[in-house]
Amino acid sequence: METTAKSTSITIGATIQAPVEKVWRFWTSPEHITQWNNASDEWHTPWAENDVQVGGRFTSRMEAKDGSMGFDFKGTYTAVKEHQLLEYSLEDGRKVQVQFSANDHETSITETFDAEQTHPLEMQRAGWQAILDNFKNYVESSGKLTTLHFEISIHARAEKVYQTMLDKKQYSTWTAIFSPTSHYKGSWEKDAKIMFLGEDKEGNIEGMVSRIKENIPNKFVSIEHLGMVCNDVEITSGAEVAGWAGAMENYTFSEENGLTLLSIDVDTNQEHKAYFSEAWPKALQELKAICEA
């Protein structure tokens, strides 16, 4: 097996179709790092911490999804120039440099790192490049909506499923998987304004501002999301909500012989795709349990 010398460094790169401000934010913010920091679908980063300043430390917990192995990727920043440069030392003493080069609405990243001694150079290059390519795909797809589909069969009439789903108390119960304080304010009538809300860890009210695009009792409900609620303030314009404006959430009720098939089609962005893919089936199982009780 090929081994590496201490002086060996490897350089990789990618050009991302996004302004440098966005690229920098997605590269340095823990809530984004957890979404892109993996070289393959078999791995993920369940949590990350990042103190972006000279002398500041970072940690990314990298684990195999099957739980078979994992490690902490740690380091300390030695140089920080916002939107331009990051340099850091890993715990084993190896150095890493990340350069950001802005050109209108695209950004080039050049990453140079000291190779370690155990694995072949090309394996190391391929692994780091895969993570960088994953970052590129994540940034470029951010803000673009994709539709997720879920469905569940419930042993109850469509009328009961419909009424249970929209009932104020029951709604808070079956959507608690998304937020323990989940609730709504407003009306389910067609064209009415409605807000889907919950408290964050600091107790601030956050959620979505929406309207009921269609409501055909026991058959179909369509919600159009217009913006966000942040710190109890409605935001329906600007870059912060650009990726959510116009997102749809549709519920279709199909009944046959007392059995109701509830189908859900939900628009989401890349940041929330994995979360919703896991949370929605759990929420629907809770709704099913309530309806069949």
CA-nearest of 175, 168, 135, 160 to 266 is: 175
Q: Which of 88, 110, 141 is the C-terminal boundary of a domain?
A: 141
- Pair 108, 153 in one domain: no
Structural contact between residues 176 and 199, judged by C-beta atoms closer than 8 angstroms = no
pLDDT of amino acid 238: 64
The rounded distance, in Å, linking the Cα atoms of 273 and 35 is 10
Alpha helices in 79-213 (DSSP H): 121-141, 158-166, 168-174
pLDDT of amino acid 2: 38
Q: Which of 94, 124, 141 is the C-terminal boundary of a domain?
A: 141
CA within 13 Å, CB half, 263? 9
As a whole number of Å, the CA-based R_g of the chain is 23
pLDDT of amino acid 51: 96
Structural contact between residues 265 and 246, judged by C-beta atoms closer than 8 angstroms = no
In the structure, how many helices (H) and strands (E) does the chain have? 6, 15
- What does each of the 293 residues of the chain score in pLDDT, given as a tens digit? 333 445 699 999 999 999 999 999 999 999 899 989 999 989 999 999 999 999 999 999 999 989 899 999 999 999 999 999 999 999 999 999 999 999 988 999 999 999 998 889 999 999 999 999 999 999 988 777 889 999 999 999 999 999 999 999 999 999 999 999 999 999 999 999 999 999 988 888 999 999 999 999 999 999 999 988 888 788 877 655 656 778 899 999 999 999 999 999 999 987 788 899 999 999 999 999 999 99
pLDDT of amino acid 241: 62
Bridge partner residues of 242 (DSSP): none
- Asked if residue 32 is part of any domain, the answer here is yes
- Pair 265, 233 in one domain: yes
pLDDT of amino acid 4: 41
**Structural domain boundaries enclosing 94:** 9-141
- Asked if residue 2 is part of any domain, the answer here is no
- Asked if residue 1 is part of any domain, the answer here is no
* Cβ-Cβ contacts under 8 Å for 28 (sequence gap 6 or more): 50, 52, 86
Q: Which of 101, 126, 141 is the C-terminal boundary of a domain?
A: 141
Within 10 angstroms of residue 58's Cβ, the number of other Cβ atoms is: 19
Domains contained in the chain, number: 2
Quote the distance between the C-alpha of residue 86 and its chain's center: 24
End-to-end CA distance of the chain: 62
* Cβ-Cβ contacts under 8 Å for 91 (sequence gap 6 or more): 74, 75
For residue 215, what is the domain's CATH number? Answer: 3.30.530.20
- Pair 207, 278 in one domain: yes
- Pair 165, 249 in one domain: yes
pLDDT of amino acid 49: 95
- Asked if residue 3 is part of any domain, the answer here is no
pTM of the model: 0.62
- Pair 161, 260 in one domain: yes
- Pair 212, 116 in one domain: no
Structural contact between residues 148 and 250, judged by C-beta atoms closer than 8 angstroms = no
